[in-house]
Amino acid sequence: MSMPEATCCDETSQPPMPLTCAGADQEVRIASLAAGSGARQRLADLGLLTGTRLRVIRPSGGGPMLIELRGSRFALGRGLAAKIMIQMIQPGTPRRPQSLPMTA
């Protein structure tokens, strides 16, 4: 019995690639962080965690990348952006609701 082939719309069928490979106005999901503890903490402080969805405003062409996350824009240097492994999101893919922390 053979395994069914993944479709092009299946985000998990794509191998993760560095954020620096994304183009302008591309929506992506963070698959993993290939960074040390200091860089991971810096990215976490910005809200860039595994599973987070963001949009590339300006690719890294000749300088820092400009990204949009939850209505805020950030500039990321190419070195740090290259440590963020992403998967492209197909246009029209609905957003998954993000879980909110439980309050007492």
At 48, which CATH number?
Answer: 2.30.30.90
Question: Phi-psi bin for 60: left (phi > 0), alpha (psi -120 to 50), beta?
Answer: alpha
In a domain, 67, yes or no: yes
Model-wide pTM > 0.85: no
Confidence of residue 8 (pLDDT cuts 50, 70, 90): very low
pLDDT at 100: 47
Read off the pLDDT of each residue in 98-102 and give the average, rounded to a whole number.
49
Give the chain's radius of gyration (CA, Å).
Answer: 15
Confidence of residue 14 (pLDDT cuts 50, 70, 90): confident
For residue 65, pLDDT over 50 is answered with yes
In a domain, 104, yes or no: no
Residue 22 domain boundaries:
14-88
Question: What tens digit of pLDDT does each residue of 77-90 get?
Answer: 999 999 999 999 98
